[in-house]
Amino acid sequence: MQRRWELASVPPQHAGTSSHTSATLQRNAAGYQTLAEYDAAGNIYTTTESLTSSSSRRIPAQGNGRRMQNLRAELLTAWSAVIDEGVESGTYTLGKAVQQFERMVEEAWTTPDTDPMHAVMVNSGTTALYGALVACGIKPGDYVIVPAMTFVSTALACSWVGATPIFVDSTPGTWTLSIDAVKYLLTERADLRSQITAIIPVHLYGAVMPEMAALIDLAQAEGWKVIEDASQAHGATLTVGSERYFAGTMSDAGCFSMSGVKNAGVAEDGGCILTRSPEMAAFLRMWRDLGRKPGDRYGFHVPGVRGRMGTFAAACGTVQFQHLNKWNQQRRAIATRYTAVINEAGLSLITQVNPDESEPSYYKYVIVAGSQAEREQIEDCLAEASIETEHYYPCMLPDQPIYRSGQLPCVVAGDLAVARHLAACGTCLPIYPELNWHEQERVIEAVKQAFARHLHAGVAVAAGV
């Protein structure tokens, strides 16, 4: 895992975007004045409000506020259409937009020459994970392997079904769940082996776990279900052999957060479960709706949850999802630029390794400093330049109060050195399609400034992360 500074793959038309941009003032459908920026190839790069005083304007860590503003007219039109739909039916639950969103996702992410995907929209990514575990038959007393470095929901969903999460470390470089750590666990904790029933790889920061094929082989040998947590990896792909798979389509069930902070989402909480099993999809359509059988409004046939996606939420999802590919290209272009600058300047920072067969969605762009103090120095420089940063995640899961205190049981496998280092030293640079060229420049300059002031360029970074 020494390909530390490798460039992320980037589509050819974006390779030269650093050479030229042009800006044009526009008026969108809602009458809001925006400034559209185009790169040399003529692709719209970003549309935000006026760039006046852009040199000091705050750069938020997340871009979904700007995204929603840009989509305002489309969204209000879509929501108004949902209102119309309900006038006749008298209800807004599980309306047309939900089905439409499900069909869009199924069509976008079904790999040719494989069985079609079924998408079931739910009210959060957490609900998606919970539903996938229930549908896979994970039950109280079971153990489920999850990475220590992920959002709390990956583990909480296991706790909700009464299973115990086993936290394993990440692979150095790619930062996704380590198969070596899993194998170590099976040796060290042979007593648990027969009670492990599932494993949840997380496609962290938008990069598909590269060893998915090996993981699935291992899981099949052990009799485990595999559930992908693809919340951060909308539209990310992994090529295995001759087949290119989308995140969330390689296992028993793929779970997505569709929340508004994700690469494409529903403004607020939302989620989606993808499966090739029509039976699982049929079960989950009942489960999300309190166990209600389609066509039997007041008949509750399986123990379910109030977990359906709302129709207004789904309408937002359909508006955003059609932009996803373009937005992912824009994220990739920014990631490429950041990585190139870090490499060219020889800054002693670690970034995520992405093998050639992987095309990430760049939900987050994380840089890892050599120490927590160094991270703070970088963040201070960014804050001085009015640039927000975030920690994804500042605390690995076994250190969270709910697990550390014993309120919820868990098992920790090994010393979790990689996860611990990421939590202590990683920080996110802003990355979203609405981040304009000048703002990217400001981010880059602030990072360089931190090195000019405090840190050494070109120094080898602690190995193993």
User: Distance between CA 264 and CA 247 in Å, rounded?
Assistant: 14
Nearest CA to 432 out of 258, 263, 282 is that of 263
Which of 306, 406, 415, 458 forms a contact with a copy of itself (CB under 8 A)? 306
3-state secondary structure 192-222: HHHHEEEECCECHHHCCCCCHHHHHHHHHHH
> How far is the first Cα of the chain from the last one, in angstroms, to the nearest whole number?
9
User: Which one, 48 or 328, has the nearer CB to a copy of itself?
Assistant: 48
- Asked if 21 contacts 343 with a C-beta cutoff of 8 angstroms, the reply is no
Token digits for 42? Answer: 């003529």
- Asked if 321 contacts 105 with a C-beta cutoff of 8 angstroms, the reply is yes
Is residue 267 within the footprint of a copy of itself (CB under 8 A)? yes
**Cα→Cα distances 67→64, 158, 164, 217, Å:** 5, 33, 38, 40
User: Distance between CA 253 and CA 117 in Å, rounded?
Assistant: 10
Binding map of a copy of itself across residues 202-241, x = CB under 8 A, - = no contact: ----------------------------------------
How far apart are CB 161 and a copy of itself at their closest, in Å?
12
How far apart are CB 423 and a copy of itself at their closest, in Å?
9
Is residue 302 within the footprint of a copy of itself (CB under 8 A)? yes
Binding map of a copy of itself across residues 176-205, x = CB under 8 A, - = no contact: ------------------------------
Which residues in the 79-118 window bind a copy of itself by CB under 8 A?
79-80, 83-84, 86-93
User: Which one, 290 or 461, has the nearer CB to a copy of itself?
Assistant: 290
Binding map of a copy of itself across residues 28-67, x = CB under 8 A, - = no contact: ---------------------x----------xxxxxxx-
Which of 36, 41, 282, 395 forms a contact with a copy of itself (CB under 8 A)? 395
How far apart are CB 152 and a copy of itself at their closest, in Å?
5
Total residues in contact with a copy of itself, by rule CB under 8 A: 67
User: Which one, 110 or 436, has the nearer CB to a copy of itself?
Assistant: 436
Token digits for 188? Answer: 């060290």
Residue/partner pairs of 298-305 with CB below 8 Å, 24 or more apart: 305/127, 305/130, 305/131
The structure tokens 């549908």 sit at 135
